[in-house]
Structure 1
């Protein structure tokens, strides 16, 4: 397993979730979308990144005598000694999310933003996790983080899709469709992602 493969798999998993956001947001439980998105960001990366960081097969499937919580604690302690390890902070944030501790992931994302000030990805992930912690959707500080990410990279697909969801959350269909059309411009026209997005756009436009 290579780190490049893990990252590619995580990206595909995230993109597969993005077209579901309009339907989930329009349903009875917006929290279901936030939870799904956060898990989509956290789960695909954690096991592989643990392997990449620790270089041990049992980091992916740890035995009962070596629980994930202990590995996460050791990683957190190591990062206090090596605070400039961006990959380590990425892993720590994912691990906290997988352990159901998204509030503990927030300082890790803040550290990542310090280490990678020109990277839109940590800001986008930070926004999702903050929305999950606050339980109020993407409005407010999460959307402000997304707008910062968009200024860094106007073609960043997760950011565009999440801003579309934020607009849809507040009932701004025109803005939502605008963001989602920008996503369509970045993904293959014949992909399942594009087909799902076109279907979502059609549904919100007829309401």
Structure 2
């Protein structure tokens, strides 16, 4: 968990930097641009003033008109520079204020949002599964907490059902696989696993419900080895040995688990 909080802190600081830096440098760029604009306005004023003096000396305009136009140029220059400075001050303050507000908002909101929607329970489950000394009871307790927090999470139901099977709690495993089948919207793996646990509960006999489920799984995934194994057993019980051999041979060509391969080979 210490490692998690270190990573979370680093990510939070990174997020704060990604928010602050663009806004902060934006105000700097605005400042540089304003200095450039101010220099351009002054240069333009001096150019106009020089041109006006030249026209006055050549007698093209009267001294009175020249002075009047010079006063207008000075007034316009003062207005332009003042307006830009006020705009820059407001923009710079707004950008920096927004950057600071968003930077503080990230860690302030991250903690309650994480506690409400975060992966604290999932991390506990992961840590438990990586602990070789964890008992079935501890694993089931952690998985049940995950299930209660995320009842629509298919992985939580799948792992929990498997733990129920390992502990010999077949009825709970059946209920968990049925929920998994619903939550996963009838996924082939959920259908095959439910068919298998119902087969075990029925004293290793294939009934109509088991047959319907493994057929449903194969209609969606013809390479599902669990469903192919049940299909072979069903065919064997009906003395359709050719179909049993075909189903088991196909499953054997796909299955990687050594225990499952051994069972298929025996069949």
Q: Shorter chain as normaliser: what TM range?
A: 0.5 to 0.7
Higher relative contact order (CA 8 A, sep 6+): 1
Equivalent residue for 2:133? 61
Measured on the aligned residues, the alpha-carbon RMSD in Å equals: 3.2
Query: Which is further off, 158-167 or 94-103?
Result: 158-167
Equivalent residue for 1:112? 180
Equivalent residue for 1:140? 208
Change (3 A) 1:52 1:174: farther
> Aligned partners of 2:197 and 2:217: how far apart in 1?
15
| Cα shift readout 1:1-58 (whole Å, capped 9, x = no counterpart) | xxxxxxxxxxxxxxxxxxxxxxxxxxxxxxxxxxxxxxxxxxxxxxxxx998341367
| Cα shift readout 1:86-138 (whole Å, capped 9, x = no counterpart) | 11111110111111101101121112112323632221111111111122512
Say whether the 8 Å CA contact 2:196–2:226 is kept in structure 1: no
> Aligned partners of 1:75 and 1:151: how far apart in 2?
31
Aligned partner of residue 151 in structure 2, secondary structure: coil
Query: 1:144 deviation in Å?
Result: 1.3
- The aligned runs of 1:70-109 (5 Å cut-off) are 70-109=138-177
Unaligned runs of 5+ in 1: 1-49, 201-207
Change (3 A) 1:161 1:132: closer
| TM-score for the superposition, normalised by structure 2 | 0.45
Say whether the 8 Å CA contact 2:181–2:194 is kept in structure 1: no
> Aligned partners of 2:166 and 2:255: how far apart in 1?
28
Task: Return the structure number with greater helix share.
Answer: 2
| TM-score for the superposition, normalised by structure 1 | 0.57
Question: How many residues in Structure 1 have an aligned counterpart in Structure 2?
Answer: 142
Structure whose CA Rg is larger = 2
> Aligned partners of 2:137 and 2:255: how far apart in 1?
37
Equivalent residue for 1:127? 195
Unaligned runs of 5+ in 2: 1-121
Say whether the 8 Å CA contact 1:93–1:108 is kept in structure 2: yes
